Structure 1
Amino acid sequence: MRISKNPLRGQQFPAVLLLLAAGLGLLLANLPSHDALAAVLDLHVAVPGTGLDLSLAHWVSDGLLALFFFVVAVELRHELTHGELDSVRKAVQPAIAAAGGVLVPIAVYLLIAGGAETSAGWPIPTATDIAFALGVLAMFGRGLPPAVRVFLLALAILDDIIGIVFIAVLFADDLQWGMLAGAVVAVAAFWFLSRRLGARGHAAIAVAMVVVGAVCWGLVALSGIHATIAGVALGLVMAPTPAERSRHALEPLVNGGILPLFAFVAAFVVIPATSATSLSPAFWGIVVALPVGKIIGISLFGWVALRIRPRGTAPALPFADLLAAGALGGIGFTVSLLLANLAFADTPALRDQAILGVLVGSLLSLVVAGVVVSLRARGYRRRGGGGVPSTLQPTTAEESS
């Protein structure tokens, strides 16, 4: 049987696309074309009859990126109910490692950039980009046991949960409770409609769900909570079968369009014409916290989990594999870029340096991860690919592909 696979549903090609888009954004921001492109990105588009009036750049980061978070939420819900995090025994080591991968980068960042002006950036180095990390693993990890990918997937999902909480709690601004209540009603209506959609789908209900989803997004945006949280809420409450169909349909658009576009817009920053010593502590805090804080936090806390895990828990990763996962965890990228935009929204100069820090820190992590993963994979291949046995096998057709 002939099998056709869309590269936008894979792992390697979307990761390369993200890197190229970010590089292009950074390049064009530092060429004479900067002013013309900046004017386009700053162009405001309003929705008549509402309070929504956003620049094109914010329509990307607040609007289109909500679809990315919707897809993430669908995967989160699956993993929490039927996947790699559906029991304490499965989740114990990645959960403890994820805690280390958040706490240690925060500590590293605050040690470097804990001053009053820059301390607000502490959430930035806590994120792990699922698509990018898995893409690098796929490129360099041939021969690694399946347990490494399962662990990294669980770790990145837990990181996403933490990042979503940070976005919802830390960056809410002047809450409008009436709008928020309306958004809750819209989420409930979306939940109800998704359970009436049926296995075959129904065009009228599907259209109604799109309308309700758009209304929900608008209400969340007007409520003072970051609008991407609407995508999270809708993805979590949607009935499983239509949610998986929607995720499958949206995946090529998200991987091939939305995420590269966001990476381009987020990386469209001017490199400061200054010496390295004059760069903000926020830049250095992120550059160090992503590759160093992540690899130390994930591997150290993962090793502790290896020692204290309950009896009967699925085989845990050895320390050398934890180092590989920790290096991959430092690739913050998408969510870290969003957090950088939010943390320093009122100080554009700091925001731009924080974004540069995310790009440099993620690139350093990518290089380190490529080396560590390659060496570890080569060792497994030399031993015949035995590796660590794992009872945590992929649970969906896509995970197995």
Structure 2
Amino acid sequence: MSLLRSARFPAIMLLLAAIVGLALANSPWGEAALEVQHTYLGIPGVFELSVGHWIADGLLVLFFFVVAVELQFELTNGQLNSLRKAVQPAIAAAGGVIVPIAIFLAFSWGTESANGWPIPTATDIAFALGVLAVFGRGLPSGVRVFLLALAILDDIVGIIFIAVLFTDGVNLAMLVAAAVLVVIFGYLSRKLDTRAGTLIGIVLVLLGIATWVLVYLSGVHATIAGVALGLAMSQQPALHARHAMEPWVNGIVLPLFAMSSALVVIPAVSFGELSPAFWGILVALPVGKLIGISVFGWISQRVAHDPSVPRLPYADLLAAGALGGIGFTVSLLLSELAFAGDDLLTDEAVLGVLAGSLISVLLAAVVVSIRAAGYRRAADETGAEIVEDEHSGSETADLDDTPEYR
């Protein structure tokens, strides 16, 4: 289980799952795999979803619950618990949203692909931190903290996009009922340390399932149920739940979603015939994120610098920007939502996300490796110790005040 809680291994699993999905879709077994993905399961005539939707609308709720718990912690006790702490990564995150959108629209303005502008705005926290852990041995902890903060803010933006842009024909009665259950869920979670803790735990699970069903039936994307429950739950029980769920989310939920999303038949067309959606995402993820995060991050350190937090050198901001281009999980979900009903555009958008994220992985590996090597040399020269973080798996040296790296 500890392997699935590390930063490195889940990122490798995600990449392998996507490769397997893409290879399977384009193999002799591709048609059978797609048939399985579109097979409906559930109670006939009452509540049925295809296998693909059970994964994207059902299992992925667990991922969003875990993200929401981490967000709740960061907003109350972590790196975003004050405006002073949050403003720098917030400005960098804004750049990492605005610039990719501008690049995407430069390719797709005036075409049917333009609806996909939210797709390249996401950063995959698990994947980005995994790449950082693999190639960033020796980088100061400030880089990971900065990346984590802006990735969480990115997730907030993605959640807002999902809730606002991809909600159609809302059933207010269902939504209000779901909100009531969320309030009850939050209240009961504060009673888990009583004698009736086991019974309350069972009730919480049932309330969570009922909330998910109501949110799904309301017309709001079902993953929002996970966000609401994660934010509403009492913090200590929520952190315990996150710890228990993390290996299952990393080892089953995310790889299954990656493989299902990557079940895309590569279009038998030339590069010139690919849609603007593909090209917009392909360029916006690695280039837009790199420019947006690094430039806006540099600006934020000049206009909103917190004296208690060491400034990151521009080269470190470039490393964070390259890592931010790994869109993957949320970008794949946004691709399915933005082009729902248009299978060809969805497939090309998914291919754009996979290719753009892969380019970002390779770019980040190079930039982070070069930067980390410089910090390791400085550590050798100064005798600083490089320590591995037991939770993240990343190894850092305390060189924030080394002049040549400022």
Do both proteins adopt the same fold according to a TM-score greater than 0.5, normalized to the shorter chain? yes
> Residue 22 of structure 1 aligns with which residue?
18
Residue in structure 2 matching 1:72, options 62, 67, 73: 67
TM-aligned CA deviation for residue 312 of structure 1? 2.9
Please give the alpha-carbon distance, in whole angstroms, between the structure 2 residues aligned to 1:153 and 1:226: 25
Kept after mapping to 2: 8 A contact 1:89/1:314: no
SS in 2 for 1:45: strand
The AA in structure 2 aligned to 1:83 is: G
Is structure 2 residue 324 aligned with structure 1 residue 329? yes
The amino acid that maps onto 1:316 is R
Does 1:155 find its partner at 2:150?
yes
Letter in 1 for 2:352: G
**Alignment correspondent of 1:58:** 53
Instruction: Specify whether residues 386 and 106 from structure 1 end up closer, same or farther in structure 2 by C-alpha distance, changes over 3 A only.
Output: farther
From 191, 213, 219, the equivalent of 2:214 is: 219
Q: 2:231 aligns with which of 228, 233, 236?
A: 236
1:13 corresponding residue in structure 2: 9
Q: Does the residue aligned with 2:181 lie in a helix, a strand or coil?
A: helix
1:208 aligns with 2:203: yes
| Distance of 1:200 and 1:131 partners within structure 2 | 36
* Greater mean deviation of Cα atoms: 198-207 or 174-183: 198-207
SS at match of 1:125: helix
Instruction: Summarize the Cα distance change of 1:377–1:176 in structure 2 as closer, same or farther, 3 Å threshold.
Output: same
**What is the CA-CA distance between 1:116 and the residue it aligns to?**
3.3
The 1:135/1:200 distance shift into structure 2, 3 A limit, reads: farther
Shift of 1:115: 2.4
| Cα distance between partner residues in 2 of 1:42 and 1:246 | 31
SS state of the match for residue 379, structure 2? coil
1:338 alignment partner in structure 2: 333
Q: CA deviation at 1:398?
A: 3.6
The 8 Å contact of residues 91 and 296 in structure 2, kept in 1 or not, is answered as: yes
1:12 alignment partner AA: R
Which residue of 188, 193, 208 corresponds with 2:188? 193
CA distance in 1, matches of 2:265, 2:305: 50
- Determine if contact 1:143/1:385 at 8 Å carries over to the other structure: no
Confirm or deny that 1:46 pairs with 2:42: yes
Measured in 2, the distance between the counterparts of 1:266 and 1:314 equals 39
CA 1:384–1:310: 2 relative to 1, 3 Å: closer
1:226-265 alignment to 2 at 5 Å? Answer: 226-265=221-260
Contiguous gaps of at least 5 residues in structure 1: none
**Aligned counterpart, 2:161:** 166
Give the C-alpha shift of residue 208 in structure 1: 0.5
Structure-2 separation of matches of 1:257 and 1:304: 40
CA contact (8 A) 1:145 1:385 kept: no
**Aligned ranges for residues 234-313 of structure 1 at < 5 Å?**
234-310=229-305, 312-313=307-308
Query: 8 Å contact 2:88–2:305 — kept in the other structure?
Result: no
1:386 Cα shift? 9.0
Q: Residues 199 and 68 of structure 1: is their aligned pair in 2 closer, same or farther, counting only changes over 3 Å?
A: farther
3-state SS of the aligned residue for 2:138? coil
The alpha carbon displacement at 1:202 in A equals 1.6
Render the CA deviation track for 1:163-184: whole Å, top value 9, x for unaligned: 0000000000110011101100
**Cα distance in structure 1, aligned partners of 2:131 and 2:330:** 17
CA gap of 1:111–1:324, structure 2 versus 1, over 3 A, is: same
Question: Is there any run of 5+ residues in structure 2 with no aligned partner, and where?
Answer: 395-406
Question: CA 1:296–1:6 in 2, change beyond 3 Å: closer, same or farther?
Answer: same
CA gap 1:199/1:314 in 2 versus in 1, 3 angstroms: farther
Q: Which SS does the other structure have where 2:176 is aligned? A: helix
User: CA 1:38–1:377 in 2, change beyond 3 Å: closer, same or farther?
Assistant: same
Preserved contact between residue 124 and residue 324 of structure 2 (Cα < 8 Å): yes
One-letter identity of the residue aligned with 1:241: Q
- For residues 253-287 of structure 1, what are the alpha-carbon distances to aligned partners after superposition, in whole Å with 9 as ceiling and x for unaligned? 00000000000000000000110000001000000
Q: Does 1:316 align with 2:311?
A: yes
Alpha-carbon distance in 2 for matches of 1:132, 1:238: 26
Aligned counterpart, 2:31? 35
Which residue in 1 is equivalent to 2:397?
A: none
Contact persistence 2:7–2:393 (CA under 8 A) = no
- What's the TM-score once normalised by structure 1's chain length? 0.94
1:178 aligns with 2:173: yes
What residue is the counterpart of 2:112 in the other structure? 117
What displacement does 1:89 show?
2.0
Give the Cα separation in 1 of the matches to 2:381 and 2:238. 36
CA distance in 2, matches of 1:316, 1:157: 20
Percent same amino acid among aligned pairs?
61
C-alpha distance in structure 2 between counterparts of 1:117 and 1:309, whole Å: 39
Deviation of 1:310 after TM superposition, in Å, equals: 4.2
Compute the RMSD of aligned alpha carbons: 1.9
In the alignment of these two chains, the number of paired residues is 390
TM-score by length of 2: 0.93
Q: Would you identify which runs of 4 or more consecutive aligned residues in structure 1 move more than 2 Å? A: 46-50, 310-313, 396-401
Who is 2:403 aligned against? Answer: none
* Residues 1:311 and 1:363: Cα distance change in structure 2 (over 3 Å): closer
For residue 402 of structure 2, what is the aligned residue in structure 1?
none
How much has 1:36 moved relative to structure 2? 1.0
